[in-house]
Amino acid sequence: MKPEPLSETFVQEESYQTESTSKDRRTSSDSEHNFTDDEQTSDIEFDLDPRFLNTKYECLRPTPLKPKYNQSLVELLEVIEHSRELNGEERNALSYRHAIAALKAYPHNIKSYAEARKIIGVGPKIGNHIKEFLTTDTIPEAEEILASEKYQTLDIFSRVYGVGYKTALKWYRKGYKSIRECMRDPYLTHIQRLGLELFNDFQKKMSRQDIQELLGILDTIIKSIYSDCIITPVGGYRRGKEFNGDLDVVVSHPQEEIANNLLKDIVEKLMDTGHLKHKLFYARNKKDTSSELLSSHRNVMDKLDKCFCAFIQPSTQICRQVDLIIAPYSQYSTAVLGWTGSKQFERSLRNYAKKERNMTLTSHGLFLNVIPKRQVHVTSEREIFNILGIPWVEPEMRNC
DNA sequence: CGCTGGCAAACA
DNA sequence: TGTTTG
DNA sequence: ACAGCG
């Protein structure tokens, strides 16, 4: 559990923590011109605020939910990012996400094109958008996107559970303009029909209080089955979001045999008690205790069980999306880490593990990529950070 | 200039 | 296998 | 119609 040799990419233990207490001592930010060195390319960050860790790995620095600076710039870039996603331009969207994540973590407002371009992740194209923003206070392309009927329609359709950009585009081309029209489409999958029917409820955000109500129910019911289950809310709720579209929960139990059958038991009970209305997605992995098949002894290659549910919230009677994930005890910490997100934080972590540590991180384990692949046993989130040699990042600061 | 970019698993 | 999910 | 890296 000791940190591996550090690659000097991250050093600063301080300047790191939730920062704030911004005693603006000489951050070079006010003096809008650096003194001498303009051409002194000797070192990496000249102009950049030294509190900012300039890296392509978002997981190495804390990113708040709401940026303190560059907020409207971030919102506009997010419009372009989303538009790229809706057009299936995945790589392109990813580039915007890198730039956005950096701006959210950046400790003051960007003041110039040159400053922006020094940030890893901001290249010529996005740099130009920022330049436009600095003079016009908006980004023309983002405004055009927001005003376009196509974007508005695709945006709505793609929010339906079971609908991605391909289906959204298909419906748009058929001339549908509303959710109601989509419901008459003759080629709906079962899940899409459900998604359309539940659309209005699923669009309603849950307050933290709403979520606490649901957690109370889950806690009571799950513990009535096995009192020593461990129940951990993850997802946006754990990252501190005030309002959430769904609730993700990781459940585990110290005894492997019990954990193996837990999902079935929980789902049955939730059905019996009338809380669970629909199963949107049910993944049950063969626990395959038959020792004959597959690899050598000690196989234990079970993956997570999970069930994405439509769950009635008693106080409001609104249907809520609740994602239940059952993890064997041995995979509990990687499951919690993996399901806490954000999506970009996960991508970054896994990419870092692979590229910088020759390891593979997934929600069901941490592996060393030697031949054959060897599992690294971990028992806590902190231990995973330590092994990867990454400074601890609070869940509330994983919002990249 | 060419390659990579996070992943696994269900449904139709 | 392609599409979608978290 | 993106950006970084080797």
The string of pLDDT tens digits covering residues A111-163 is 999 999 999 999 999 999 999 999 999 999 999 999 999 999 999 999 999 99
Decide the pairing of beta strands A318-326 and A246-252: parallel
Nucleotide C2: nearest residue by CA–C1'? A166
pTM of model > 0.85: yes
Characterize the bridge pairing of strands A374-376 and A365-368. antiparallel
Tens digits of per-residue pLDDT, A309-319?
999 999 999 99
Strand B CB shell (< 7 Å): A 91, 94-95, 189-191, 281-285, 303, 338, 343, 346-348, 350-351, 354, 360, 362, 364
Residue A45 CA distance to nucleotide C4 C1' (Å): 41
Q: Nearest Cα to A249, choosing from A319, A340, A341?
A: A340
Q: In Å, what is the separation between the CA of A22 and the C1' of B4?
A: 38
Q: How long, in residues, is chain A? A: 400
Distance CA A218, CA A314 (A): 12
**Average pLDDT in the A37-52 region?**
58
pLDDT over 70 at A29, yes or no: no
Query: What number is the average pLDDT over the span A229-250?
Result: 97
Mean pLDDT of all residues in A208-223: 97
Angle at A52 between CA A51 and CA A57, to 5 degrees: 140
Q: How far is CA A319 from CA A135, A185, A188, A279, in A?
A: 45, 23, 21, 12
Q: Can you give the distance from the CA of residue A289 to the C1' of nucleotide B3 in angstroms?
A: 42
CA of A355 to C1' of D6 (A): 13
Q: Which nucleotides of C are covered by protein (CB under 7 A)?
A: 2-6
User: Which helix (DSSP H) or strand (DSSP E) does residue A360 occupy?
Assistant: strand A359-362
Q: Which residue is nearest to nucleotide D1 (CA to C1')?
A: A92
Q: Are A226 and A258 in contact (CB under 8 A)?
A: yes
Q: Among A166-175, A181-190, A192-201, A278-287, whose mean pLDDT is lowest? A: A278-287
Q: What angle do the packed helices A332-340 and A381-388 form, to 10 degrees?
A: 80
Binding site membership of A for Mg(2+): which residues? 246, 248, 323
Give the domains, in start order, of chain A with CATH numbers: 23-145 (1.10.150.110), 153-202 (1.10.150.20), 206-331 (3.30.460.10), 333-397 (3.30.210.10)
List the A135 CA – B8 C1' distance (angstroms).
44
Q: Are A53 and A14 in contact (CB under 8 A)?
A: no
Of all nucleotides, the one whose C1′ comes closest to residue A121's CA is D3
CA atoms within 13 A on the CB side of A129: 22
Nearest nt to the CA of A162 via C1' is C4
> Rounded to whole angstroms, how far apart are CA atoms A330 and A354?
21
SS3 of residue A236 by DSSP: helix
Asked if residue A343 has pLDDT above 50, the reply is: yes
pLDDT score recorded for residue A159:
98
Nucleotide nearest to A96 (CA to C1'): D2
